[in-house]
Structure 1
Amino acid sequence: MRKTSLALAVAASTLGLSLSQVAHADFIGDSKATLEARNFYFNRDFREDAGQNKSEEWAQGFILRAESGYTEGTVGFGLDAIGMLGFKLDSGDGTAGSNLLTPDRSSGGSQDYSSDLAVAAKAKISKSVLKVGSMQFKNMAIGSSDSRLTPQVFSGGQLVSQEIEGLTLDAARIREVNNRNSGDFEDISIGTTSGANGGTRGITATGGTTTDKFTYLGGTYKINSDLTAAYYHSELDELYKQNSFNLVHVLPLADKQTLKTDVRYARSTDDGRSNVDNKAFGAMVTYGLGGHSFGLGYQKMSGDTGFAYINGTDPFLVNYVQIGDFANKDEKSWQARYDFNFASIGIPGLTFMTRYLTGDNIDRGAASEGKEWERNMDIAYVVQEGTFKNLGIKWRNATMRNNFGRDLDENRLIVSYTLPLL
């Protein structure tokens, strides 16, 4: 995925040629395409005088997502594509580094313009789909980040099978990553720090922290209408091995009341040249009453290091939030969360969320026990009908404080409009 001005043109011509050549079956009829315009303002205010005191940037992005159907026959073939454009609207005076834009190594700022293209070929037999190329992933083993201007994508192959009712099997081999602020594909690396506040997971590796091979195999099984279980085994070659378990139960109570329990456990060990040794337990219990949701979460890290996951991705942790992941060595953390969906009082499209997390018992070696807390608030509205249908606006606010890294306040304002093309 090269950042060239021809990227989207190539994507459009490639997909258009394929459509013209295969004008039968469900290749066209089942095709879907959307164009999202994403306007993103990011402000992170560091609360100390040392170093850079602010990261502030404003950018405009466009994300084209196209998914074809499949050709006729025992084996159906198709194409998926993600085209991405990013434009700098405001950045300078030492405020770069928001990860919205590609860094400009010569100036220390951000590039004015970037473009990306991710294309994956796919083949389908019965209820099994093989994809090869560039794509996003979202499961217990790996979660592509989409929290900035354009999403993170990976290069590799994936097989998803749903031949057995209620069971989804998922396997992949991934070789490279194009991060949300990257100019090109690069080797995959293991994260060694915990969030923007600089907390440490205590992870080290000999011979570097990168590799060109990540594999996983796992699945999700819907035991009944209320209970779902999942397991994934993953390996970041020579860096870590991980076994992840998840159990989700939704208990219907009285009218418009539910109790959801989400339990997660992961065991991570080294794979030859790292010191990874971690047990991560997390649980979230959420009580739903009409448009209200009240949640309590607990997360505990144990072992010689903090939690291991691919750098830049969204880890499968109950206390991974806007800034922190609360996954430092030996850390114990709690979360209290409240959500309200205004559709319950006749205002569909408007939602509100706030949460507070506190963590302690962080092993800092000879230093004192590490402690941190974070507060988040999200307010979002999506227009439901009329001329501006699908126009969305979201304000994300966060405050992070700790005794081992940088304190910060953060605001993100995201205005997006998604236009269905097919």
Structure 2
Amino acid sequence: MFENLSEKLERSLKLLKGEGKITELNIAETLKDVRRALLDADVNYKTAKTFVDNVKDKAMGQNVLNAVKPGQMMIKIVHDELTELMGGATTDINIKNNPSIILIAGLQGSGKTTFTGKLANLLKTKRGKNPLLIAGDVYRPAAINQLQVLGQQVGVTVYTEEGSKDPVSIAKNGIKMAKDKGHDLIIIDTAGRLAIDEQMMDEIAAVKKAVNPNEILFVVDSMTGQDAVNTAKEFNDRLDFDGVVLTKLDGDTRGGAALSIRSVVNKPIKFVGTGEKLDALDVFHPSRMADRILGMGDIVSLVERAQEQFDAEEARKLQKKIAKNQFSFNDFLSQIQQIKKMGNLKDLAGMIPGMGKMMKDIDIDDNAFKSVEAIIYAMTPAERETPELINGSRRKRIADGSGTSIQEVNRLLKQFEDTRKMMKMMTGAGGKNMARMMGNMPLGKR
């Protein structure tokens, strides 16, 4: 996400290194490069021009302190302007009513139904809501079944009407059921089309009028670039939606939609989809995204994800085991599971300042720990608790059982033992050493 844009912006801002002060002459080439980088990222032409003009105006009006170099000042100005371009402040979803009604809109294939399941999961687990999903897509054959499967996976009730082709009636009946059953949140999935047409617009406008939702979210596939922005504008003209959801930001996208859509439709981006898993949905923070675009990482989001998986009692138990040199493969396996729950590994690495660039050419996927887990699962319970039991014959059995080689088993055992010794020496800094151990694992390939 934004890799090419980040690289080009970084190169552009380097042009000011060594300059004594900001002048119209020495920033001309920098701003020209910045504008080109934005256009290459599929940012709307007018948006890119306005952005560069604003940066220039602010840069020329700055009194650069002796302690701050012009290049550093420009980075701050570009960061602030990127943040403003994407909305400035984080905008929360409106779910104050009981029940609150959220209407989901968008084209077919944008990820509406999947997002509906993700949103229900997020609001259930993090806001304590009791959602009801309403299957209002009566045209796509698999849509209702897909929503039912998603609802089952996240433990949320799904309202459907077999054979009905009237989305207004389905929505009304679903809302009645939600009120009768005590649901405090209703999320309505609606039909999409492969392209915008009058029938589609009339239909979703009728649903909006009938249910009077507290929140309308427009879901858009960020990989469609400027088409996403154009589609958002047409939907907004008819629906006057409250916020935008960008899906597939983890894919090979240039990011232009994320940077343009706010300025074109004047509606905030509220959520971003960052993967296929049902917990791969993040609240959109403009400032944090600007940090990542400029290669500054996103430590705040990384810490928040870690805290979601952090168990204070388990941490205390683990610290005691480390102090007694009793850290086992079962403990190690538990740490791996917590890291995997935090999200895509390459995405997590990109949140660490400077790591995004370093990881650019390294391929890390969700199966990065697969061979390590396979080796541990091939051990007996006694071997996991007491690795010292693993002799030559046991190593061969573990290698055969895990589909790996004896060399891989030996490497893991050595890394594990080295890390355990380090943890014993530095009791209380177990997390730091665990991170170092993870860094030594063969997770990526160039």
Which protein has greater RCO, CA pairs closer than 8 Å, 6+ apart?
Answer: 2
Instruction: From the two aligned structures, give the one with the greater helix fraction.
Output: 2
TM-score bucket (shorter structure): under 0.3
Instruction: From the two aligned structures, give the one with the greater strand fraction.
Output: 1
For normalisation by structure 1, the TM-score amounts to 0.23
For normalisation by structure 2, the TM-score amounts to 0.22
Larger Rg: 2
